[in-house]
Chains A and B, each alone.
Chain A
Amino acid sequence: MSTVTRPQSSPAIAVHEPGNFLTHSSGFLSWALTLDHKRIGLMYLVGVMSSFLLGGILALMIRAHLFHPTGTFLTPQQYNQVFTLHGAVMVFLFIIPSIPAALGNFLLPVMLGAKDVAFPRLNLCSFYLWVGGAIFFLVALLVTGLDTGWTFYTPYSLDSKGPVVLATLGVFILGFSSIFTGLNFIVTINTMRPPGMTWFRMPLFLWATYSTAIIQVLATPVLGITVLLLTAERLIGIGIFDPKLNGDPVTFQHFFWFYSHPAVYIMILPAMGIISELMSVHSHKGIFGYKLIAYSSVAIALFGFLVWGHHMFTSGMANVTTIVFSALTFSVSIPSAIKVFNWLGTMYQGTVTLTTPMLYALAFIFLFTIGGLTGLPLGALSTDRHLHDTYFVVAHFHYVMMGGTLVAFLGGIFHWWPKMVGKMFNEFWGQVSAIIVFIGFNLTFLPQFVLGTRGMPRRYANYLPEFEYLHQMSTYGAFTLGIGLLVAGLVLLHSIWYGRKAPTNPWGGATLEWVCSSPPPHDNFSRPPVVGDPYDFRGIEYDPKVGGYVRRPVVEKGLG
């Protein structure tokens, strides 16, 4: 309990206490109108976690319903509404904003040694746009059921009696929230790096966030255009997507995936950034092949724009188009493979501590590798014709989105939780949560690969009896996974009240956020710190007096 309240070097401002950003000011308005990126990050965190809870409950409803071939408690119409909302809530309200908006907002300026993002007001605006978009979605949930699937495919979405216009307006607003966040991050990274932090001395999380921000700014406007066209088609019949008006439904798919495929990389790139940090810090060793990881983030962001057609291999595109998209799809698999090998290289010869964040990071590598490898038979044309729109696809993207992004997000939350709230969580129960999540996840989604190759189509409310036992395994897995996530949530909440005070550097990280106290003061740094290599672990030693790591001046290597 030796929280050394080091004297802060800020004599100009009358500080009552050596306060942190949480205690800096109080009252509802101090949060609602805050321009502090850390508070905005925390508000985003509360928002996306609430959305995740909602999406998760919907997921459990889906799995509970599919326990029997004829369904258990939903009508087919209700089932269609539930899977639509599950997808829409998870994609638009949870995964897309999760890492960039919640963790990114909190960490990006601190990692840069800056006081805040470049445009703090725009940042707050982006948060309220997110809230506004989320409300549109929830209204759509409460008023009448949306049943188009999260993809809004035409012409079904033109005929559907669900609140398509309301929901797409929500998407439109959420898109702006995403664009503003991306814009802010690009400008911040370009202009506010401290002395000494060249591009190749940035933490890899920032490289990943930067690549993500580029996609957010370039791709999201296309989503805005798409949903506006959809709304115009629905309301005044402009005849672009509706075959009855000489429109082409496949045009909508091109528009939609031109955004939504890059959006997949908005989801996974920041997760890869987190994993790069986690692997290095918890192996207490510099990252293997820094430049290759940094370049592969940018490569993924660029290639990611060119592969949208692989969602449409069975839509009836011309053969040449289909073949070109298949080739481009394989090109994007290479940078992902490189990253996995580099993470393994990082552990090699390090000092691997199996902490909760590290367990999540290792689970990520395991699950993401499966997710990536199962993309091969989907990118290959002849096998995709069999596997397209089956449970194989469902399992594949859950391995990437959930086994990848969500698990990395959880690892990141556990990793930076002491920094965000200033408390340590219970390590044992944190590890238990990681193990339950890992087992539950595989039990849920491994059987779905087999369902897919055996021909079970996706989005089915009822199914043939021959698929029953695989579906039941999946349902048992989903509830196990739910329990694991519940444990993780309780561990984090418990720590807020009962956790011991976090030291400045609980894990032994070398990036700048571990130089700030936990939680950081309102201004992060009184002046931009001079920085060197973010993965220089020399001299970082555990100090039992502090309960965390401190950086000792390096005389020679070794001996703390």
Chain B
Amino acid sequence: MFLLADKNASFWFPEQASTFAAEVDWFYMAMLYISLFFFVLIVAAMAYSMIVFRARPGYKGSVEALHNNTLEFWWTFIPCVIAVWIFARGVYGYLDQMKIPVDTNNVDVLARKWAWNFTYPGGVSTDELHLIVDKPAKMTMRSDDVLHAFFVPAFRVKADIVPGRYTNMWFEPSKTGVYDLFCAEYCGDKHSAMGAKVFVQTEEDYNAWIAKEMLPPANAWDWGQKQYAKTKGCIACHSIDGKKVVGPSFLDTWGKDVELAAGGTVKFDENYVRESVLNPQAKARKGYETASQMPSYQGRLKEEEISALIEFLKDVKTNTTKKE
């Protein structure tokens, strides 16, 4: 699912692809060098005592407990000063990250088990995040089910998406390219597969992409296929190659009788698909009793979208090879 991996900019960090990255990396390296300085000092003092004061024939060290007020004051005071500086610098960078500019490109982000959905001002909705380079972007994020977190290492930003409220965040992509987006808050079975691609593009490329996405689908099957694979996230749990992911696969099921958890069978037809999309637990399939429950898509799919999806489900196999 991940085509391109982020390139590393340094030993520690991936590419710096947002305006936040330079400050975060610089600050991290500063703390690293301060830490290394003290660490080397501590280990050197330890090694010195291990060697010079080691027990050996003919050597007898002091037994008196030592105490030195001056020394103890300074090794309390100096760490305090450093801690205050680190705290202040962290707050400085943080407040920059929290202050959302007025003029931003807005994207609505929907996180759910286990897919991302991005909706753009024109109404275009996809599973890829497209951004314009050097333009601040604001994410208005919500979750349908449990906690998720939006994390793009190349941008050095992360925010939890809490169900029941909107979470806003912003950043400014500074470099065109393709980056990884991860879900960073544990969300269940396919948490580690809940990723997406972030495309940072020039304004022309972005507009061209939006224009293409705005075109109506060529036919119902294509539309259904796109919903399945891209916009509605069905693919996260249902395969079309027979593999059991979370829910049942759609391979060779159309028109067949399928077994139900409650006993008996039902024919996998238009009405069964429609019912299962709107009320997934009404006729749950046998063998999936312990699987994570599918949420209802009531209100999220229009009637014509369901029809298109059904067109796709009628013929998942042959068409996949024929039409692409």
Interface string of B156-198 (1 = CB under 8 A from A): 1111101111010000000000001011111111111100000
Interface residues of B in 4-46 (CB under 8 A from A): 5-6, 8, 11-14, 20, 23-24, 27-28, 31-32, 34-35, 38-39, 42-43, 45-46
A346 / chain B contacts, CB cutoff of 8 Å: 66
Q: Which residue of A lies closest to B2 (CB)?
A: A464
Query: Within 8 Å of chain B (Cβ to Cβ): is A285?
Result: yes
Shortest C-beta distance, B27 to chain A (Å), equals: 6
Q: Are A382 and B54 in contact (CB under 8 A)?
A: no
Interface string of A365-394 (1 = CB under 8 A from B): 110011001101101111111101110000
Beyond the given pairs A243-B162, A380-B87, A459-B186, 7 more chain A to chain B contacts, judged by CB atoms under 8 angstroms and listed by A's residue number, are: A80-B186, A249-B147, A326-B91, A333-B79, A334-B80, A382-B94, A465-B5
B156 / chain A contacts, CB cutoff of 8 Å: 385-386
Q: Are A380 and B90 in contact (CB under 8 A)?
A: yes
CA distance A460 to B2 in the complex (A): 14
Query: Within 8 Å of chain A (Cβ to Cβ): is B272?
Result: no
Shortest C-beta distance, A334 to chain B (Å), equals: 6
> Which among A289, A330, A337, A463 is the interface contact of B67 at CB below 8 angstroms?
A289
B193 / chain A contacts, CB cutoff of 8 Å: 76, 462
Q: Are B97 and A351 in contact (CB under 8 A)?
A: no
Query: Within 8 Å of chain B (Cβ to Cβ): is A472?
Result: no
Interface string of A203-228 (1 = CB under 8 A from B): 00000000000000000000000000
Interface residues of B in 127-153 (CB under 8 A from A): 145-147, 149, 151, 153
> Which among A287, A290, A389 is the interface contact of B149 at CB below 8 angstroms?
A389
Q: Are A348 and B53 in contact (CB under 8 A)?
A: yes
Q: Which residue of B lies closest to A348 (CB)?
A: B49
A550 / chain B contacts, CB cutoff of 8 Å: none
Shortest C-beta distance, A284 to chain B (Å), equals: 6
CA distance A284 to B49 in the complex (A): 13
A362 / chain B contacts, CB cutoff of 8 Å: 46, 50
Q: Which residue of B lies closest to A160 (CB)?
A: B188
Q: Which residue of A lies closest to B8 (CB)?
A: A454
> Which among B67, B90, B180 is the interface contact of A326 at CB below 8 angstroms?
B90
Shortest C-beta distance, A127 to chain B (Å), equals: 33
Q: Are A153 and B14 in contact (CB under 8 A)?
A: no
CA distance A464 to B54 in the complex (A): 48
Q: Are A386 and B153 in contact (CB under 8 A)?
A: yes
Shortest C-beta distance, B95 to chain A (Å), equals: 7
With A284-B61, A382-B23 known to touch, is A376 a contact of B67 (CB < 8 Å)?
A: no
Contact size range, B: 35 or more
B145 / chain A contacts, CB cutoff of 8 Å: 155, 159
> Which among B39, B186, B188, B293 is the interface contact of A370 at CB below 8 angstroms?
B39
Q: Are A338 and B76 in contact (CB under 8 A)?
A: yes
CA distance A381 to B187 in the complex (A): 24
With A334-B76, A389-B185 known to touch, is A457 a contact of B27 (CB < 8 Å)?
A: no
Contact size range, A: 35 or more
Chain B residues near A (Cβ < 8 Å): 2, 5-6, 8, 11-14, 20, 23-24, 27-28, 31-32, 34-35, 38-39, 42-43, 45-46, 49-50, 53-55, 59-68, 71-72, 75-76, 79-80, 83-84, 86-87, 89-98, 145-147, 149, 151, 153-154, 156-160, 162-165, 167, 180, 182-193, 290, 292-293
Q: Are B67 and A382 in contact (CB under 8 A)?
A: no
Q: Are B188 and A156 in contact (CB under 8 A)?
A: yes
CA distance A449 to B207 in the complex (A): 39
16 contacts between A and B (CB under 8 A): A283-B53, A288-B67, A289-B67, A292-B72, A333-B83, A334-B83, A349-B66, A350-B49, A351-B54, A351-B61, A373-B38, A382-B20, A386-B28, A454-B8, A454-B12, A455-B14
Q: Are A284 and B63 in contact (CB under 8 A)?
A: yes
Q: Which residue of B lies closest to A345 (CB)?
A: B66
Q: Are A385 and B157 in contact (CB under 8 A)?
A: yes
> Which among B59, B71, B87, B190 is the interface contact of A327 at CB below 8 angstroms?
B87
Interface residues of A in 256-297 (CB under 8 A from B): 283-290, 292
Query: Within 8 Å of chain B (Cβ to Cβ): is A199?
Result: no
Q: Are A330 and B8 in contact (CB under 8 A)?
A: no
> Which among A249, A288, A370 is the interface contact of B164 at CB below 8 angstroms?
A249
Shortest C-beta distance, A427 to chain B (Å), equals: 13
CA distance A379 to B86 in the complex (A): 9
Most A Cβ at <10 Å: residue of B54, B62, B189: B62
Q: Are B53 and A384 in contact (CB under 8 A)?
A: no
Query: Within 8 Å of chain B (Cβ to Cβ): is A314?
Result: yes
CA distance A196 to B222 in the complex (A): 87
Q: Are B186 and A381 in contact (CB under 8 A)?
A: no
A334 / chain B contacts, CB cutoff of 8 Å: 76, 79-80, 83
Q: Are A285 and B62 in contact (CB under 8 A)?
A: yes
Query: Within 8 Å of chain B (Cβ to Cβ): is A116?
Result: no
Query: Within 8 Å of chain B (Cβ to Cβ): is A537?
Result: yes
Shortest C-beta distance, A85 to chain B (Å), equals: 14
Q: Are B149 and A314 in contact (CB under 8 A)?
A: yes
Q: Are A389 and B94 in contact (CB under 8 A)?
A: no
A526 / chain B contacts, CB cutoff of 8 Å: none
Q: Are A453 and B66 in contact (CB under 8 A)?
A: no
Q: Are A383 and B188 in contact (CB under 8 A)?
A: no
Q: Are B94 and A385 in contact (CB under 8 A)?
A: yes
Q: Are B153 and A455 in contact (CB under 8 A)?
A: yes
